[in-house]
Amino acid sequence: MSIPKPVVRRRVAGVAGLALAVALGLTACSDESEAETESGATAESEAPSEDGASADAEAGSESGSESGSESGSGEAVSGQATAEAAVASWVTAVITDEPADACLVMTIEGPDGTPVAATPGQCAGGGPEALAAQQGVSTLGPSFTPADLGEAPVVEAAGATESGGAATFDGGQITVDGQSLQDIVVANSTGVAPGDIGIEVEAAELEGRWYVTDMNLSFG
């Protein structure tokens, strides 16, 4: 008799929830035994189009994303001009271990519980947003990094499903140096087949800028 695998869903809000979501998701996938992996789990975190966009760790992408979340004057800015640029910048920051940059293209929970943009001060300081971004980035980085990573990784996001000012990219629509994020995560995991992991990164537009608002991880 076939018994369906249980699916557990957990949702946590904003930048502050990233580290918890990662702990419930990719880390468990990489470190647990194969028997534990087969039980299946889903973790969802509130994180942070016209053309595909790419983010370069050193110089920024040709599509106009601000590398390192900085303006032309060198001042830190929040968000990106497109959903593609926001997702590409976020993944680049995770891979290159730049938590402040990742934080700047993510939302946090506002006073009324709705997502708001994280400020440069919140992302660069020692507050809860900055600390959560540091923990989340340091945990996600190894899972998002391909074995043959270039000196300046090129991250691209394209082909999102869009609806009502939001865009959703699956793991096959985000690439790092030409490899899909889906394949990279599987390669960096143990006891996991390609079809066992589902990845979605969601972005939304706030006041004319795009931010990563959700990262959904499913296992089993």
Per-residue pLDDT tens over the stretch 156-166: 999 999 999 99
Cα→Cα distances 120→6, 43, 46, 56, 105, Å: 40, 27, 19, 20, 10
* Predicted confidence (pLDDT) per residue in 80-135, tens digit: 999 999 999 999 999 999 999 999 999 998 899 888 999 999 998 889 999 999 99
Average pLDDT of the chain? 75
Tokens representing 167? 């865009």
CB atoms within 10 A of CB 61: 22
Report which secondary-structure segment, H or E, holds 21: helix 18-24
**Alpha-carbon dihedral angle through residues 85, 87, 92, 94, given to the nearest 10 degrees:** 150
Q: Is 4 domain-assigned?
A: no
Q: Is 38 domain-assigned?
A: no
195: confidence class by pLDDT, cuts 50, 70, 90: confident
Q: Is 21 domain-assigned?
A: no
Separation CA 118–CA 93 (nearest Å): 15
Q: Is 217 domain-assigned?
A: no
Q: What is the DSSP letter of 207?
A: T
Q: Is 33 domain-assigned?
A: no
Bridge partner list, 55: 155
**Cα-Cα end-to-end distance for the chain:** 18
Residues spanned by the domain of 150? 49-189+204-211
Q: Is 12 domain-assigned?
A: no
3-state helix, strand, coil in the chain (%, to 5): 35, 30, 40
Can you give the pLDDT at residue 220?
Answer: 66
How many domains is the chain partitioned into structurally?
Answer: 1
Structure pTM?
0.73
Q: Is 6 domain-assigned?
A: no
Separation CA 135–CA 220 (nearest Å): 25
* Predicted confidence (pLDDT) per residue in 134-173, tens digit: 998 999 999 999 998 878 899 999 999 999 999 999 999 9
